[in-house]
Copies of this chain bind each other. A is one copy, B any other.
């Protein structure tokens, strides 16, 4: 099969057509006519087989995740996901594989009204790079640099389940059957917090998505905003499966594990009630897990007592 036919067959037909896209897939470039008074948020993330997902991950999950991790970056800025490009490197063309991969991609695109505008298909070791773009009213995007001391630190949802799933897959722990499906779903099919991002944009001072681990990503906010932070471990939102499996080590895994794709954000006292009301009305789960401060470090407390916890974070090149 010819490369061009493959691309044409699987990537050209799609449901979502956005009005800003004046030329879609099939030429040297796509063309966008950007709406006025909006900024464009742009992000790129690569997933490599064996590094960012286990080699036996279902192709539908790989397609989902490749898009989801990028939409999560858009969510962290409070942007509306709009269009994506996909560059995929495949060892060989396996039609079933490509078909299922595309299912994962397009399910998410249709759900969030995102148009695929281009891409590249090449031969080589399996990896996927997505570039995603979103729209945000001018000057309103959430940055990592907006936090000040004394603000409240929040996260959406529950954290650590994706890391727990990875430990289970690698035979480091055994997750009981009752919880297994739900934690593996968190690893394979992360849900980008797009609605939450657009909601907190009106209230939060800074935000980031938790991809490298809660502490690692909070560190980015602290460094960019020049604040310290204390995390109240009592308030960490942990799943039943996490507590049942990890016991006393649950908090440690939740703080260090990556791949959560929840949002971590910082809110001023004055915006606390408004934001909590807005998120509650939309049915979005959130927890207040600590506060920023004047120090230059991240500390943790349990029952109001300082505790030390191993917080290594996740790095690709950790020589």
Contact = CB atoms under 8 A, between A and B. Distances in A.
Interface of A: 1-4, 6, 22-23, 26-34, 36, 39-52, 73-74, 76-77, 79, 83, 85-87, 89, 92-93, 117-125, 127, 129, 131, 133-134, 136, 138, 141, 143-145, 207-209, 224, 315-319
Given A2-B318, A34-B40, A118-B42, A27 B77 contact: yes
Nearest to A85: B44
B46 A39 contact: no
B85 A23 contact: no
A123 B29 contact: no
A7 to B, nearest CB: 10
B131 A85 contact: yes
B208 A122 contact: no
Given A2-B317, A3-B315, A316-B3, A48 B138 contact: no
Contacts of A79: 29
A141 B23 contact: yes
A77 B32 contact: no
A118 B43 contact: yes
Give the number of times this chain occurs in the complex, counting copies: 2
A125 B125 contact: yes
B32 A40 contact: yes
A74 B117 CA distance: 15
Contacts of A28: 43, 73-74, 76-77, 144, 207-209
A39 B29 CA distance: 11
Contacts of A315: 2-4
B42 A85 contact: yes
| Highest count of chain B CB atoms <10 Å: which of A89, A133, A145, A319 | A89
13 contacts: A3-B317, A23-B141, A27-B144, A29-B74, A29-B77, A29-B141, A33-B39, A34-B34, A43-B85, A45-B120, A48-B122, A48-B123, A120-B129
Contacts of A129: 44, 46, 87, 120, 129
Given A2-B317, A123-B51, A141 B44 contact: no
Nearest to A318: B2
B85 A127 contact: no
